[in-house]
Chains A and B, each alone.
Chain A
Amino acid sequence: MTISLDCEPRVVDVLRGDRQKRPRLDTTSAAGLRAQLEDGIHDIFTKDLPPSPLVVRPSSLRESWHATDLSSSTLGLIRGALVTQLLRLRLVGVTIDNAFDDAVAAWRADAGAGPLLATFDQLDGDDRARLATDVTAHDVTLSRCFGQLPSHWMARSCVRATQRLAGGHVILRDVVDLTIGANTAESTTVVLVDVTTSPLGESAERTLRFHALVETLRTSVVPLRSAVFSSATGEFWTRDIEPELLARSVDDVLEVLQALWSAR
């Protein structure tokens, strides 16, 4: 489902969906997907194994071989990091006075910031002012489109996941910007939401699938839905997780691994 959000409906309303149409808990697909991945990796590493683990991240799937992805530029990465901080602050009800200053303060407090923060500190006044305007615009879209999440949805931000495959020679790493819901004995309400500062394209769809695959491998339960929201355009894509979607993500991962292995 693709929705362009201006004000109504909000992300919250779209994510709520129809309770009557929720599928039963799927705890069997994970083992099959893992086996598919292991078989595919075995075919790629035909003779020898990589000296250091090959790591697949959502950004590995975003990289286009034919065009330059603007979101991968340093300024794009910094903007993404700052907008993520704003999302985290908004989710816990922090009042944002100055979007840029608050995002930078939160980012500095985050221990994982590292080299990107050092690059940010070296930006000149013009670049910083341009970035501040950009971040503020993204924050306006976030605040208009997201709405307040109900507390019983158990919203978690920046949820990390790691999966080791092929005896640790392949690592899938993922960070989901927003995870809501939980698994119960009979059904799942887990929805994964990625927030990107780029307009949505084919790579966003691959990211959406990757989140669903890693979550399935991590918890052995297929999540209900995976979604991606663009704070640049207000576009919001949401997909119910079906076996075909997960199988396509397996193909995406194997394709990236093949490219990494060939390029070594």
Chain B
Amino acid sequence: MGIAFTAGKYIHWGVVSISLTNFLIIVGMIVIFALALVLPFPGAHQQQPQQHKPDEDES
């Protein structure tokens, strides 16, 4: 019987079976979520509307 296809790489753990690609995508999302929580966000001190930074474009 000529089956043409072969499966990619899979990780098996108990009942769980996940493709390596999907696993990396999910891990990547969790890492990005964690980074989004902890990385400082720029411009957090611009509360006074009159204050301008020297390199801002004042058009």
Whether chains A and B associate is no
Interfacial residues, chain B to chain A (CB-CB below 8 A): none
Interfacial residues, chain A to chain B (CB-CB below 8 A): none
